[in-house]
Structure 1
Amino acid sequence: MLRAFTRSVLLAGTLATAAHAQSVEFTKDKFGSDKEALKEALRELKAGDDAYQSDPPRYGAALPHYLAAQQRNPDNAALNTKIGDCYLHSGTKALALPYLQHALALAPTADPRAHYLLARALHLNAKWAEAIKEYQSSAPVGGGKRAADGDLTVTAADIQRRVQECRNGQELQKHPVRVFVDNAGPEVNSAYADYGPVVAADEATMLFTSRRPSGPNAPKDPNGDGYFEDIYQTTWQGKSWRPAADLGPPVNSAGHDATVGLAPDGQRLLVYADENGGDLLESNLKGTAWGKPQRLGSRINTHAHESSATYSPDGRYLYFVSDKPEGGRGGPDIYRVEIEGKGPAENLGSVINTPYGEEAVFMMPDGQTMYFSSEGHNSMGGYDIFKSTLVNGRWGPPENLGWPINTPDDDVFFVTSASGRHGYYSSDRPGGQGGKDVYRVTFLGPAKAPALSEESQLLASRLAPVAQTLLAPPVAVATARVTILKGTVTDAATRQPIESSIDLIDNKLNQVIATFHSNATSGKYLVSLPSGTNYGIVVRQDGYLFHSENFDLPTDATYAEVVKDIPLKKLEIGVVIVLNNIFFDTGKAILRSESTAELERLRKLLAEQPTVKLEMAGHTDNVGKPAANRDLSQRRAQAVVAYLTQHGIAADRLAAAGYGDTKPVAPNTTKAGRQLNRRTEFKVTGK
Structure 2
Amino acid sequence: MYKLFLFTLLLFGQAAHAQSVEFSKDRFGDDKEGLKAALRELKEGDSSYEMDPPRYEQALPHYLAAQKFNPDNAELNLKIGDCYLHSGFKPRALSFLQKSYKLSPDADPRIHYLLGRGLHLNGKWQEAIAEYKAAQPATGGKNTAPILADIRKKISECENGQKMSKKPVRAFIDNAGPSINSPYADYSPVISADESVLMFTSRRDNSTGEQTDPETGGFFEDIYQSTRTGQKWTVARNLKEPINTDGHDATVGLAPDGQRMLVYVEDNGGDLHEANLRGAEWRKPQRLGARINSKGHESSAAYTPDGRSLYFVSDKEGGLGSRDIYKVELEGRGPALNLGSVINTPYGEEGVFLHPDGKTMYFSSEGHNSMGGYDIFKSVFENGKWSAPENLGWPINTPDDDVFFVISASGRHGYYSSFREEGLGGKDIYQITFLGPEKPPMLSQEDQLLASRVQPVKETLLAPPVPIATAQVTILKGVVTDDVTKQPLEATIEVIDNQRNEVIASFLANAQSGRYLVSLPSGVNYGIVVRQEGYLFHSENFDLPAGAAYAEVVKDIGLKKLDVGVKVVLNNIFFDFDKATLRRESTSELERLQKLLTEAPALRLEISGHTDNVGQGAYNKDLSQRRAKAVVDYLVGKGIDKARLTFAGYGDAQPVAPNATKAGRQLNRRTEFKVTGK
- For normalisation by structure 1, the TM-score amounts to 0.91
Which shifted more, 596-605 or 472-481? 472-481
Partner of 2:126, secondary structure, is helix
Partner of 2:75: 78
Judging changes above 3 Å, is the alpha-carbon distance between structure 1 residues 216 and 374 closer, same or farther for their aligned structure 2 residues?
closer
For residues 82-93 of structure 1, the aligned pairs below 5 Å read 82-93=79-90
1 CA distance for matches of 2:170 and 2:292? 38
Q: Does 1:170 align with 2:167?
A: no
- Aligned-residue offset at 1:516: 1.0
Q: Does 1:29 align with 2:20?
A: no
Partner of 2:519, secondary structure, is strand
- Aligned-residue offset at 1:468: 11
1 CA distance for matches of 2:605 and 2:169? 60
Partner of 1:64: 61
Q: Does 1:262 align with 2:254?
A: yes
Q: Does 1:53 align with 2:50?
A: yes
CA offset digits 1:565-594 (Å, max 9, x no partner): 000011111111111000101111111110
- Of residues 285, 295, 319, the one that matches 2:311 is 319
Partner of 1:577: 568
Partner of 2:187, secondary structure, is strand
Q: Does 1:596 align with 2:587?
A: yes
- Aligned-residue offset at 1:57: 2.2
Partner of 1:476: 467
Partner of 2:107: 110
- Aligned-residue offset at 1:453: 4.6
Judging changes above 3 Å, is the alpha-carbon distance between structure 1 residues 296 and 152 closer, same or farther for their aligned structure 2 residues?
farther
2 CA distance for matches of 1:549 and 1:296? 34
Partner of 1:524: 515
Are the aligned partners of 1:452 and 1:469 in contact in 2 as well (CA < 8 Å)? no
Are the aligned partners of 1:519 and 1:525 in contact in 2 as well (CA < 8 Å)? yes
Partner of 1:380: 371
Partner of 1:98, secondary structure, is helix
CA offset digits 1:576-623 (Å, max 9, x no partner): 111100010111111111011111111111111111111111111222
Judging changes above 3 Å, is the alpha-carbon distance between structure 1 residues 210 and 141 closer, same or farther for their aligned structure 2 residues?
farther
- Aligned-residue offset at 1:435: 1.6
Partner of 2:7: none
Partner of 1:463: none
Q: Does 1:537 align with 2:508?
A: no
Are the aligned partners of 2:209 and 2:246 in contact in 1 as well (CA < 8 Å)? no
- Of residues 495, 500, 503, the one that matches 2:494 is 503
Are the aligned partners of 1:481 and 1:558 in contact in 2 as well (CA < 8 Å)? yes
Tell me the number of residue pairs that the alignment of Structure 1 and Structure 2 aligns.
652
Partner of 1:615: 606
2 CA distance for matches of 1:387 and 1:48? 42
- Aligned-residue offset at 1:152: 12
CA offset digits 1:146-177 (Å, max 9, x no partner): xxxxx999600111110111111111000011
Partner of 2:414, secondary structure, is strand
2 CA distance for matches of 1:318 and 1:499? 25
Are the aligned partners of 2:208 and 2:245 in contact in 1 as well (CA < 8 Å)? no
Are the aligned partners of 1:60 and 1:223 in contact in 2 as well (CA < 8 Å)? no
Q: Does 1:432 align with 2:429?
A: no
CA offset digits 1:404-462 (Å, max 9, x no partner): 1111111111111100011111112232212211111111111121121599xxxxxxx
Are the aligned partners of 2:207 and 2:222 in contact in 1 as well (CA < 8 Å)? no
- Of residues 591, 597, 604, the one that matches 1:606 is 597
Structure 1: gaps of 5 or more residues: 1-15, 143-150, 456-466
- Aligned-residue offset at 1:255: 1.2
- For normalisation by structure 2, the TM-score amounts to 0.92
For residues 131-150 of structure 1, the aligned pairs below 5 Å read 131-140=128-137
For residues 319-398 of structure 1, the aligned pairs below 5 Å read 319-326=311-318, 328-398=319-389
2 CA distance for matches of 1:550 and 1:25? 78
For residues 559-574 of structure 1, the aligned pairs below 5 Å read 559-574=550-565
AA in 2 matched with 1:488: V
Partner of 1:410, secondary structure, is coil
Judging changes above 3 Å, is the alpha-carbon distance between structure 1 residues 381 and 653 closer, same or farther for their aligned structure 2 residues?
same
Partner of 2:449: none
Are the aligned partners of 1:499 and 1:519 in contact in 2 as well (CA < 8 Å)? yes
CA offset digits 1:352-392 (Å, max 9, x no partner): 11111111011110112111111111111011111111111
- Aligned-residue offset at 1:402: 0.8
2 CA distance for matches of 1:681 and 1:273? 50
Are the aligned partners of 1:182 and 1:439 in contact in 2 as well (CA < 8 Å)? yes
Are the aligned partners of 1:483 and 1:530 in contact in 2 as well (CA < 8 Å)? yes
Q: Does 1:399 align with 2:390?
A: yes
2 CA distance for matches of 1:540 and 1:468? 51
Partner of 1:87, secondary structure, is helix
- Aligned-residue offset at 1:194: 1.0
2 CA distance for matches of 1:469 and 1:210? 47
AA in 2 matched with 1:70: Q
Are the aligned partners of 2:402 and 2:418 in contact in 1 as well (CA < 8 Å)? yes
For residues 1-12 of structure 1, the aligned pairs below 5 Å read none
Partner of 1:190: 182
Are the aligned partners of 1:200 and 1:206 in contact in 2 as well (CA < 8 Å)? yes
Are the aligned partners of 1:448 and 1:472 in contact in 2 as well (CA < 8 Å)? no
For residues 186-265 of structure 1, the aligned pairs below 5 Å read 186-214=178-206, 218-224=210-216, 226-265=218-257
Are the aligned partners of 1:502 and 1:515 in contact in 2 as well (CA < 8 Å)? yes
AA in 1 matched with 2:46: D
Which shifted more, 77-86 or 565-574? 77-86
AA in 2 matched with 1:632: L
AA in 2 matched with 1:333: D
Partner of 1:452, secondary structure, is coil
Partner of 2:669: 678
Q: Does 1:124 align with 2:124?
A: no
2 CA distance for matches of 1:481 and 1:102? 52
Are the aligned partners of 2:357 and 2:473 in contact in 1 as well (CA < 8 Å)? yes
CA offset digits 1:499-540 (Å, max 9, x no partner): 111000000000000001111111011111111110000001
Judging changes above 3 Å, is the alpha-carbon distance between structure 1 residues 66 and 559 closer, same or farther for their aligned structure 2 residues?
same
- Aligned-residue offset at 1:30: 3.7
Are the aligned partners of 1:257 and 1:274 in contact in 2 as well (CA < 8 Å)? yes
Partner of 1:243, secondary structure, is coil
Between the aligned residues of both structures, percent identity stands at 69
Are the aligned partners of 2:439 and 2:467 in contact in 1 as well (CA < 8 Å)? no
Are the aligned partners of 1:451 and 1:469 in contact in 2 as well (CA < 8 Å)? no
Which shifted more, 99-108 or 186-195? 99-108
CA offset digits 1:219-261 (Å, max 9, x no partner): 2221225211111111112132111111111111111111111
- Of residues 477, 480, 483, the one that matches 1:489 is 480
2 CA distance for matches of 1:569 and 1:17? 91
CA offset digits 1:100-159 (Å, max 9, x no partner): 1122222212311111011101110111111111111103499xxxxxxxx999600111
Partner of 1:3: none
- Aligned-residue offset at 1:28: 3.2
- Of residues 277, 280, 292, the one that matches 1:300 is 292
AA in 1 matched with 2:25: K
Partner of 1:236, secondary structure, is strand
Judging changes above 3 Å, is the alpha-carbon distance between structure 1 residues 388 and 625 closer, same or farther for their aligned structure 2 residues?
same
- Aligned-residue offset at 1:215: 5.8
AA in 1 matched with 2:615: G
Partner of 2:233, secondary structure, is coil
Are the aligned partners of 1:532 and 1:556 in contact in 2 as well (CA < 8 Å)? yes
Judging changes above 3 Å, is the alpha-carbon distance between structure 1 residues 489 and 87 closer, same or farther for their aligned structure 2 residues?
same
2 CA distance for matches of 1:18 and 1:96? 25
2 CA distance for matches of 1:58 and 1:624? 81
Are the aligned partners of 1:452 and 1:471 in contact in 2 as well (CA < 8 Å)? no
2 CA distance for matches of 1:139 and 1:42? 34
1 CA distance for matches of 2:598 and 2:155? 71
1 CA distance for matches of 2:71 and 2:144? 24
Partner of 1:159: 151
AA in 1 matched with 2:266: D
AA in 1 matched with 2:287: R
Runs of 4+ in structure 1 off by over 6 angstroms are 151-154, 467-473
AA in 2 matched with 1:620: T
RMSD after superposition: 2.3
2 CA distance for matches of 1:471 and 1:75? 55
1 CA distance for matches of 2:285 and 2:207? 22
Partner of 2:645: 654
Q: Does 1:180 align with 2:172?
A: yes
Q: Does 1:42 align with 2:27?
A: no
